[in-house]
């Protein structure tokens, strides 16, 4: 008969203790990837491979915690640290503690996404367009994209950004103003990509309409080189390659005086055009030698900002000559005056001769009487 101290029932706890001591106990934290929104709560569970049901188990963290589920699970509340560490530990049958650690990452949805761009852009020039993202984390998971209508112009990623604290991000893109961009909406889009362990969070700024203007390439004055006095002529101002006529004024100057002006309220759209403006002008003698020129003024008031752009043609001097009929009338007047003067002179001379003859006869008569 086997002695009582050799009973298998009495040896079982000893054998289990020996097997636990020999085997390596594993401790696990679930979920394995701890990701939580700033200020949120997180439930996690500690488990182990220890075969003994009566084990010592605990959770160490700087965060506020509440134990649930008979001591195997905890709820971490109001998590506000950008990154923190939790440790689960277990003492299996009085052995040394076995510890498992995990990092908790806190993310922040951008508080605000804003767009900054110049109020007006001149065609062909390069301008900075800035996207500002306020209070976002983790930045390494952030991408910022600049959209024009349905087109992606630029994208910027921050995968090499190592700080984990929430911060403000500025992404500046250089945009070359094209005429077809005029009137299109531009928007900043953000994507905080926390996949595969978290969500893909998207946001966007308020759209802003681009205002692209184009100055006239050249202003040309077209007129007859010489004008006959009293005649009416067409004087044309040609505004070449002007993109918008919405606020275009074309003026004809004589010296510093505006002779004629025309303002356009229509818009020809995205493609540039040449515009002809013709004025009627009657040549006067006093115009001779005066300067005449065409001026094109683009008066823009876009998004509350005003811009005045002016181009002008080179000045041209008036050359006015008298007409032939006037010359004939003038010549006839001169001839008539000459004839009149000659006739008057002849009559005066005749009168003088007659007076002289009468004086001579009188003198002779007196002489005979003596």
**Residue 306: strand pairing partners:** 301
Q: What is the pLDDT of residue 205?
A: 97
Mean pLDDT per block of 10 residues along the chain (370 residues) reads: 49 44 77 91 90 82 87 90 91 81 93 94 93 96 95 95 93 93 94 94 95 82 89 91 74 90 69 83 88 87 73 89 59 59 64 72 66
Residues 155 and 144 sit within 8 Å (Cβ to Cβ): yes
Q: What is the pLDDT of residue 187?
A: 98
Q: What is the pLDDT of residue 174?
A: 97
In 3D, which of 368, 222, 197 has the Cα closest to residue 293? 222
Phi, psi of 341 (to 5 degrees): -65, -40
Q: What is the pLDDT of residue 266?
A: 61
Q: What is the pLDDT of residue 241?
A: 79
Domains of the chain (ranges; CATH) run 4-107 (2.60.40.10), 112-212 (2.60.40.10), 214-321 (2.60.40.10)
In 3D, which of 179, 185, 182, 190 has the Cα closest to residue 148? 185
Q: What is the pLDDT of residue 21?
A: 46
SS3 for the chain is CCCHHHCHHHHHHHHHHHHHHHCCCCEEEECCCEEEECCCCEEEEEEECCCCCCCEEEEECCCEEEEEHHHCEEEEECCCCCEEEEEEEEEHHHCCCEEEEEEEEEEECCCEEEEECCCCEECCCEEEEEEEEEEEECHHHEEEEEEECCEEEEEEECCCCCCCCCEEEEEEEEEECCHHHCCCEEEEEEEEECCCCCCEEEEECCCEECCEECCCCEEEEECCCCEECCCEEEEEEEEEEECCCCCEEEEEEECCEEEEEEEECCCCCCCCEEEEEEEEEECCHHHCCCEEEEEEEEEEEECCEEEEEEEECCCEECCEECCHHHHHHHHHHHHHHHHHHHHHHHHHHHHHHHHHHHHHHHHHHHHHHC
Q: What is the pLDDT of residue 343?
A: 61
Residues 50 and 68 sit within 8 Å (Cβ to Cβ): no
Tokens 């706890």 belong to residue: 13
Q: What is the pLDDT of residue 133?
A: 98
């Amino acid at each position: 008969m086997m002695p009582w101290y050799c009973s298998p029932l009495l040896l079982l706890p000893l054998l289990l203790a020996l097997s636990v001591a020999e085997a390596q106990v594993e401790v696990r934290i679930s979920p394995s990837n701890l990701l939580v929104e700033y200020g949120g709560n997180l439930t996690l569970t500690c488990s182990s491979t220890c075969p003994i049901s009566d084990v010592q188990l605990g959770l160490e963290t700087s965060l506020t915690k509440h134990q649930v589920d008979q001591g195997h699970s905890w709820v971490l509340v109001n998590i506000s640290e950008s990154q923190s560490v939790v440790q689960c530990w277990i003492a299996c049958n009085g052995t040394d503690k076995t510890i498992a650690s995990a990092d908790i990452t806190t993310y922040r949805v951008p508080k605000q996404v804003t767009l900054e761009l110049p109020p007006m852009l001149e065609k062909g020039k390069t301008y900075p367009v800035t996207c500002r993202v306020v209070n976002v984390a983790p930045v390494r998971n952030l991408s910022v994209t600049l959209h024009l209508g349905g087109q992606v112009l630029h994208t910027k990623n921050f995968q090499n950004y190592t700080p984990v604290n929430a911060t403000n991000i500025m992404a500046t893109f250089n945009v070359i103003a094209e005429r077809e961009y005029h009137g299109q909406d531009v928007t900043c889009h953000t994507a905080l990509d926390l996949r595969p362990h978290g969500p893909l969070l998207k946001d966007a700024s308020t759209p802003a309409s681009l205002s692209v203007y184009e100055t006239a390439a050249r202003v040309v004055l077209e007129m007859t080189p010489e004008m006959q006095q009293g005649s009416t002529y067409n004087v044309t101002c040609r505004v070449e390659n002007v993109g918008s006529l919405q606020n275009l004024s074309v003026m004809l100057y004589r010296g510093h005086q505006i002779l004629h002006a025309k303002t356009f309220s229509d818009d020809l759209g995205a493609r540039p055009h040449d515009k002809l403006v013709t004025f009627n002008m009657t040549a006067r003698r006093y115009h001779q030698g005066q300067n005449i020129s065409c001026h094109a003024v683009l008066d823009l008031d876009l998004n509350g900002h005003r811009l005045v752009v002016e181009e002008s043609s080179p000045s041209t001097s008036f050359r006015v000559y008298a007409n032939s009929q006037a010359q004939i009338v003038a010549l006839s007047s001169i001839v008539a005056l000459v004839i009149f003067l000659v006739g008057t002179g002849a009559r005066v001379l005749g009168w003088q001769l007659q007076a002289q003859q009468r004086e001579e006869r009188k003198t002779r008569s007196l002489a005979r009487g003596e």
